[in-house]
Amino acid sequence: MATTNVETNVCTFQWKVENITRCFWLKMRGDIASPAFVTDTLEGTKWTLRLYPMGDDEEDFVSFYLRREEDCSGPDVVEVEYHLAFLGKNGSFLAQETQSRYFKKNEFWGASDFEEARKVFVDEREAFLPEDTLSVQCTISSNKNTTVKAKHLYARTVLSVNRRSFVWRIDKFSSLKPGLNNQLKVAFLEFFFVLNEEQGFGERIIINFKSFDERMKYFSFKTLIIDSDGKKENCGMHEYFIGDLQERVLSSPLFFPEKWMEHNSRYFPDDILTLDCEYAYLIEINQYEFFGSAAISPKSTKEDVRIPERHDGGKEKCQNTPALIEDLKSMYGDGIFSDMNLRTSTKTFPAHKCILSARSPVFKRMFSNEMTEKSSGHVEITDLEEDTVHRMLLYIYTDSLEDLQLESASKLYEAADKYEIMPLKSKCCSFLKDILSSTTVCDVLILADQHQDKDLESAVRAYILEHDEVFSSLEWKHFMGTNIKLAADIMYWKVVVNPVKIYPCNA
């Protein structure tokens, strides 16, 4: 997909923001920043994209900017022409802006009214946000007359909302004294149970917490008391947004009515306070792909990542690999010297038996033995769609994938399984694991079961068991009605194999 241009230095950066509608934690002037990208095509300068879903200056618009970073190489001022765009599913421009600007370090340009928020999130949501993903593109160019070739870079940011719960048992409750009494560490969070003698009983109990993950953008914490009959009563819920989370330790006071103490045998059986703690958090997960000598660098690192050459298994890749890939892609696209046709119900694809055989054991057996396909010069593929066969052939010739979504990845996974193209199947599997959510997990589980893929099935099951919101989704409700055995198996793991853990804490 990279375009070579010697006279004009061009860098194209595509960025996908997945689960974009989960940016509810942002307020006006709250931004999502892309990973920084550094490229030699623009004198080693460093850039990021800044997206304001709730607006920068105007709340009715989505704001979109290109920023030159402060810790940046290159001259103090650089002149570039940039093109910013929101992309449709097929790569079309749904909204765009082109400008020529001088950029100093730590300076940004773009548009505060890049597109109407209602249009993006409501009226034309299907076009702008397929599978809840906003795809944006930035192309920046310089007219410096050098021999640096153009680069094409990719990145993803996943807004991941996670929900967890645990049961916290406080023994010998009546003998607790003011101050820190118990603490509990769960994953990257640490919770502290505190009695505050300066407050009345209804406000005396506080649960403090601190996070060890700087990527956290939102946190909510809800507590319920569990009585002797197993019934739960609400003790309060608190939300913390990105500004709050800058504090090292945050407090969540619990609401405890005085009457609960009057019925201590019910609420504190055997002098034990049992709390059901539920929390949700949102983090940004950045993922990166590289093409050529330019690289995208994680925001968590202090130094920019530069990869002039990539290595696999200790062997250095040929520097001309991109050119070879482009030549093979042209060979596939133009059908030069093709000696075999792959026919779907809607299109015929010219191909080469030697390349198909090298990449697929199924095609190799087909063309090595006296089978109909060998003598007829064509292979009938009526069970795969045109788009899926195109993607499969593109991978066979170039070892690359383009713009996968849940549906296209699932169909490509099936094609890879049918023709035993194991590296492609593995890539599709990894992609499907990456996009697991309450809306996709049921479809992926069905796919894994149909193909007896135990690895994928295990990953899906683990995701479901860790995300209780799956069980309240409409997708799960429908899944239970149509896939009773699979749903029963998940519930068996949930209730019997992996039940909710109780953490006892002694004073």
pLDDT digits (tens, 9 = 90+) for 104-148: 999 999 999 999 999 999 899 999 999 889 999 999 988 665 545
**Residue 1 is encoded by which pair of tokens?**
């997909």
The pLDDT tens digits for 422-458 are 999 999 998 898 888 888 999 999 999 999 999 899 8
pLDDT of 320: 40
Can you give the pTM of this predicted structure? 0.47
The pLDDT tens digits for 468-478 are 889 988 889 99
The candidate with the shortest Cα–Cα distance to 1, out of 18, 14, 17, is 14
- 322-435, CATH topology level: Potassium Channel Kv1.1; Chain A (3.30.710)
**Residue 241 is encoded by which pair of tokens?**
């947004």
C-alpha torsion sign, points 497, 498, 500, 501:
positive
Q: Where in 27-150 does DSSP place strands (E)?
A: 32-33, 36-38, 46-52, 61-68, 77-87, 93-104, 107-116, 133-142
Q: Phi and psi at residue 456, in whole multiples of 5°?
A: -65, -40
The pLDDT tens digits for 243-274 are 788 777 888 888 878 778 788 889 999 999 99
| Domains 10-149 and 161-283 agree in fold | yes
* Sequence ranges of the domains in the chain: 10-149, 161-283, 322-435, 440-502
Which of 289-298, 402-411, 490-499 is the least confident region?
A: 289-298
Q: Enumerate residues 6+ apart whose C-beta is below 8 A from 15.
A: 34, 35, 49, 135, 136, 137, 138, 154, 155, 156, 157
| Crossing angle between the packed helical segments 386-398 and 321-334, to the nearest 10 degrees | 140
Is the distance from CB of 225 to CB of 273 less than 8 angstroms?
A: yes
| Position 155 confidence tier, pLDDT thresholds 50, 70, 90 | confident
Choosing among 2.60.210.10, 3.40.1160.10, 2.60.40.3880, 3.30.70.2860, the CATH entry for 10-149 is 2.60.210.10
> How far is the CA of 288 from the CAs of 80, 336, 348, 380, in angstroms?
24, 34, 35, 37
Helix (H, G, I), strand (E, B) or coil at 275: strand
Is the distance from CB of 295 to CB of 37 less than 8 angstroms?
A: yes
Q: Alpha-carbon distance 414 to 417, whole Å?
A: 5
What average pLDDT score do residues 476-497 get? 88
C-alpha torsion sign, points 88, 92, 98, 103:
positive
Q: Where in 334-453 does DSSP place strands (E)?
A: 340-343, 348-351, 378-380
Is the distance from CB of 448 to CB of 456 less than 8 angstroms?
A: yes
pLDDT of 26: 67
Domain with residues 161-283, CATH architecture = Sandwich (2.60)
pLDDT of 444: 95
pLDDT of 102: 93
The pLDDT tens digits for 268-301 are 999 999 999 998 888 765 554 443 333 344 433 3
The pLDDT tens digits for 203-239 are 578 888 888 777 787 888 999 999 999 999 999 998 8
Q: Which residue's entry shows tokens 């820190």?
A: 180
What average pLDDT score do residues 41-48 get? 83
pLDDT of 322: 55
| Position 498 confidence tier, pLDDT thresholds 50, 70, 90 | low
The pLDDT tens digits for 328-368 are 877 887 777 888 899 998 889 999 999 999 999 999 988 88
Give the β-pairing of 107-116 and 179-186: unpaired
What average pLDDT score do residues 21-40 get? 76
**Residue 362 is encoded by which pair of tokens?**
């199924």
Higher pLDDT, 494 or 324: 494
> How far is the CA of 374 from the CAs of 193, 370, 416, in angstroms?
73, 7, 21
Q: Alpha-carbon distance 497 to 499, whole Å?
A: 6
pLDDT of 285: 58
pLDDT of 499: 55
- Helix (H) or strand (E) run with residue 444 in it: helix 441-450
**Residue 41 is encoded by which pair of tokens?**
């095509």
Check pLDDT > 60 for residue 308. Answer: no
